[in-house]
Structure formats: C-alpha cells, structure tokens
Structure 1
C-alpha cells in the first residue's frame, strides 16, 4: 500500500485488489459516474459489466487477464478513485495490435509479456480509465493513481503499461505525465432516425443500395 499527500491535510492510500468483487458496486459505480457525468454514463465501466467478465471466467488469471485494479481511499476509507487494471500474458482481446512491439522486444532478447493493461477487456469503446470522484482535489487523486500505476509497473518489472481507449481529456493529461501517445481510428454508425432499413438505404448511391440488397439475399 502506497500513501500520498495530494492536498494539505488529505492523505490518500492506494491499494491493489485481485478482484473487482472486493469493492462494492455502489462505490465503484460512483467513481465511474462522476468520471463520465450522469448524461454520458458508460455501462462498460460499471461494476456489473466488469464483474461479469471475472465471474464468467473471461477476464481472469487463467485466461491471461489477471485483475490488479487500483483503489484510492481517504483516511476514512472512502473510495476516491479506481482504475481497471490487468496483468496480461498476451495481447488478445484489446483491439490494439501491438504484436510488432512484442517482436521487437524479443529480437533484442527482452520479454514483452507480461504487461499491464488499464482498459475494459474485449471492448474498444472510448471512455475514462482513471475513474475519480468529483471532489475539490480530484486532479490530485488522478495524479496519485497515475503515480501508483507507474510505480507498480516498475516494481513488477514488466515491460510496459498501456492505457487504451481513454477519453480525449485523459489522453492529453497522460501525455503531460510522461505517457507516449497513440492515435487510432474507428468508424461509428449513427442512426439518423431511420424508420426502416429501406429508408437507411435511400441515403446511399443506387449502386451501393443494389449491392447491399443482393448481399442480403444470399
């Protein structure tokens, strides 16, 4: 357990838990809700979703996803922030293809796995990864968790720490804290209030409509 003093008179302890079930859903979801805002709540950051991945054996040590979640508390044991973290023995289920990095490590006689991955397993959905309660010292709690992530990576002697699909605000904040940046591209489909599939097709050129209709008949 690491202790920091992010603000005057405020001590924050940081610990690692081996299962999200070690923290209550109310406390975890309160952090997630404050991090995203109630109007943009991300269900993939919820305790229910992440715990289901552990309880069904999807994101567990045996499948190469060893939970190592970060929990930050104040002196009264109130949770101030959390971060979903996994010790990975492979790169599957991340939707970030870093096999060339692994090959580069091996070509120099170094070991790429295990590595730490701060993410939502199997879910390439952008959102905050360091989930902090909305307090007057939330920026300091954010820094404490980032420091804890770095310290854990160094202490564990793993190759690297990856924070994937963070929010844009986090992306910039993490750069200021020494992280290398990576840019990915996604294509998102949006429903423009289409009343039917045919109405959706009418937004396309005739040739594309024809191809899609032929494909659907196969």
Structure 2
C-alpha cells in the first residue's frame, strides 16, 4: 500500500512538472500588468474589467526591418512585451528581414520551439542536435516553405537568394527568450576568462581577444 501511494505521488510530481513549464490559462485571459513590481513566473494580471482591444493588438509586421547592420538581418518580435494580452497564452511570433547574404546568427530559444515560414526569398536554415552527435540538420527554403526548430537547439538562417528575404516565426512561449551564441560567449558581462575560452575553442589568446573586441 505504501509503495502504491509513493507511486501515485511520484506520478503527480511528474505531471505537475510537465504542465507547469508555462502556466495554462484558468480564465479567459490574463493581461500583463507592466506597472506591477511583483515577481512571478510570467507577469501579474491586470483587472480583466480594464481590458481593451489594444491589449491584444500589434501593428507593424508589414513594415520592412532595418537590415543595415553587421549581420544583415532584423528581428521584429511580437511577444508579451508588445502584446500584454499574450500573458499566459504560451505563444508569440516574430518577423525576420534579411538583406542579400544576411544571416540570423546562431542562437537558441531556451523556452520555445519555433515554426518558421518563408514569406519572400530563399533561405538556408538549420539546427544542430545535442551532444554527442552534434549533427547539422539543414535545408534550403523557398517562399511558402516551413521549417521547425526544436526547443533549445542552436539554429540559424541565411539569405542565399539574390534579393531581400522575409520570414515569419511562431514560437511556443509568450516570452521565448533568445541566446545569441557569439554575443553570449564573447560579449558576456563579466567577460569569460581568456584561459577558459582558449581551451574551449583551441585557439590562441590573441584570437579570443579579437573576438571579444567585436562584442
């Protein structure tokens, strides 16, 4: 009997951990109250009687992103920061613009899987599986094609067409987060020690210093 009770408790814990990854709504909506200083996993709800259409609205995905930067791309996010009504709903999206030869650099989303649709142009995309395989899974996408990036895996997109490219990404979190690999490794605050980086990348300290200067 004791073993049976223990098993039920263990099963309950497992189920709780799975369902608690991002809170499921238990009401119609929970509009983020950006004025609250309370710290919770998500954002505090404002009074639902104060809800208005603009809490669920964003205008701007029709606008071209400014790609005149070092990587030649621009991400326009639509998450809970831009749309407070997304709070607790577990979804968000983004528009990504690419200049010719532009890239969306190697990055991960720690809290979301991503489904990626090409709206215009031709993109080479891919992700790398986890250790020990570290296998690159990649494909060239054209207008109307869709590709999925699993949660937490390093991925990228590159414009391999002759003109500009545009894509729309949908993500399975109200706030998926993004870790750009080069920025995190070489631009961390405080800096990761040169000794650690030279051994990790098996390069000279001068190379590491040069990379850190870029970020």
User: Which TM-score bucket, shorter chain as reference?
Assistant: under 0.3
TM-score between both structures, scaled by the size of structure 2? 0.26
TM-score of the two chains, using structure 1 as the length reference: 0.26
The structure with more helix, counted as a fraction of residues: 1
